[in-house]
Amino acid sequence: MVRDVINVNLGEEGEECNNNFFNPTDEQMNTIIHSLNTLNQVEILNILGSFNISTDYDTIKKKTELIQYLIYSFKQGMFSERLFNELRSQAFNPDIDSTDGFFFSFGADTLNITKEGLETFLKGWNAVKDDKGIEFLELNNQSATLLVTKHTDKFIFDQESMFSIKYNDEKRAKVQVYFDKSIVYVQTTNTVIYHAIKTIIKEFLQELLNIEKLYITPPKMSKNLSLTFNDDFTGAKKENSVHPNTIKLLDILLELDAPSSSFSGFECVNITLDHEDTINRKDAKSKIVSQNYGGGDLLKNKVVKDLILSNRIIYDIEFKIEYNHVDNEGYIRKQLVTVGMINDRKSFLRIFIKNSDYNIRNVIKNAYSELTSVFISNYGQSQLRNEDNIKKLLGLS
């Protein structure tokens, strides 16, 4: 029997699996089956574990066996609707809660945005938009959180009925618009979704701000140091300097290791710089991997320093850093996270965490939230916060 191989523990989230009887409809059962086939076995087991549901690994070894038992259990009313919603969400809307996202900026002097004004505008805007929608979630200190959706009608041909079936292809992402900083964050792992949502946000901002043509650009990453260097990097020379884009990126990275930050132990493990003779071409990059240089923090490696000092631009960077947080029992814990940044100067700046352990999902989500907060806070500063440390890092002081 199923109950011999699936143990539904009582307590916490698992408590609902017995107390809240859920009898799925045919449509819900189809969605459950689709969800289970979309997710891999590890993802399914991690979701079950978050609901205190364990399985007999000696009896259920294959994914097909696991799916078979879960379908039977749902039909018998053994699981809650909350488990159904979680399986569906993880299978078909993983980006809504992802630790990945894209930043872009818009060229406009914005007015003071109010909650009432924004809600009123969106009510009228949504009423005349058939293929898109924006749901207002909150407004906090001129930062609006929105849920943006793009609808596209698509068709498939059903061989059994010999008729075409129309379905709605939905692209959706959570968006934060920082009106006071003229920058937008789109939370998604998918570049196709990002570009679709960016187009909607551009249209939304043009109409909200009453601008005929709104310019969308990557985040404006440009700051200058007070020094330039000669060919052997020991004296001043105007013709050879650190690129302003790299200076700003270094300022943000060093901010993560500041005493006021929740992070510590920064270590760059991979870095990609543009080619010296093709600065603006994405297809001409030179990648430096830490293993090739004996490991350790690449930003402290002389080869990398020399490249940075010769006006090269950091295209992407991967680093490990410790996230210091307080656990449920009040103890301070350190969680090592691997972070990536892609500095695409033609389209976006992307920040993501590579950790995928479902068991520490909430910790990773909190770490990612603080990462993006550090970026936004630093981005809005007119002056470099870490100029002395940048000079020290590059051996200039």
Q: Are 77 and 32 in contact (CB under 8 A)?
A: no
Q: What is the 3-state secondary structure (H, E, C) of 157-201?
A: EECCCCEEEEEEEEEEEEEEEECCCCEEEEECCCHHHHHHHHHHH
110 DSSP 8-state letter: P
Of 59, 56, 50, nearest in space to 79 by CA? 50
Q: Is residue 225 in some structural domain?
A: no
60 DSSP 8-state letter: -
| Phi and psi at residue 133, to the nearest 5° | -155, 150
Residue 111 belongs to domain spanning: 100-217
How many CB atoms are located within 10 Å of the residue 251 CB?
A: 22
Q: Which of 63, 92, 121 is the last residue of a domain?
A: 92
pTM of the model: 0.78
Q: Is residue 201 in some structural domain?
A: yes
Q: Is residue 231 in some structural domain?
A: no
Rg of the chain in Å (alpha carbons): 25
369 DSSP 8-state letter: H
Q: Are residues 265 and 389 in the same domain?
A: yes
Q: Are residues 45 and 112 in the same domain?
A: no
Q: Are residues 14 and 120 in the same domain?
A: no
Domain count, the chain: 3
Q: Which of 54, 69, 92 is the last residue of a domain?
A: 92
CA distance 250 to 253: 5
Q: Is residue 227 in some structural domain?
A: no
CA distance 207 to 58: 60
Task: Record the tokens describing residue 93, joined without a space.
Answer: 């809307």
Q: Are residues 129 and 164 in the same domain?
A: yes
Q: Which of 69, 92, 115 is the last residue of a domain?
A: 92
Q: Is residue 224 in some structural domain?
A: no
Q: Are residues 198 and 181 in the same domain?
A: yes
Task: Record the tokens describing residue 283, joined without a space.
Answer: 């297809």
Q: Are 281 and 324 in contact (CB under 8 A)?
A: no
Q: Are residues 167 and 135 in the same domain?
A: yes
For the chain, the helix, strand and coil percentages under 3-state DSSP, each to the nearest 5: 40, 30, 35
Q: Are residues 109 and 87 in the same domain?
A: no
Q: Are residues 196 and 300 in the same domain?
A: no
Cα first-last separation, the chain: 72
Q: Are 280 and 240 in contact (CB under 8 A)?
A: no
How many CB atoms are located within 10 Å of the residue 60 CB?
A: 20
CA distance 382 to 47: 44
Say which amino acid occupies 55.
T
Q: Are residues 371 and 254 in the same domain?
A: yes
CA distances from 301 to 232, 240, 275, 292 (A): 16, 19, 18, 11
Q: Is residue 254 in some structural domain?
A: yes
Q: pLDDT (tens digit, 0 to 9) for every residue of the chain, 397 residues total?
A: 444 555 554 344 344 444 567 899 999 999 999 999 988 887 788 788 878 888 877 778 889 999 999 999 999 999 988 899 889 888 887 666 789 999 999 998 777 899 999 999 999 999 999 899 999 999 998 999 999 999 888 888 888 888 888 877 788 899 999 999 999 999 998 898 999 999 999 999 999 999 989 999 999 888 877 655 555 555 555 334 788 899 999 999 999 988 889 999 999 999 998 865 444 444 556 777 766 766 789 999 988 998 898 888 999 999 999 999 998 888 999 999 999 999 988 899 999 999 877 678 889 999 999 999 999 999 878 788 998 899 889 887 7
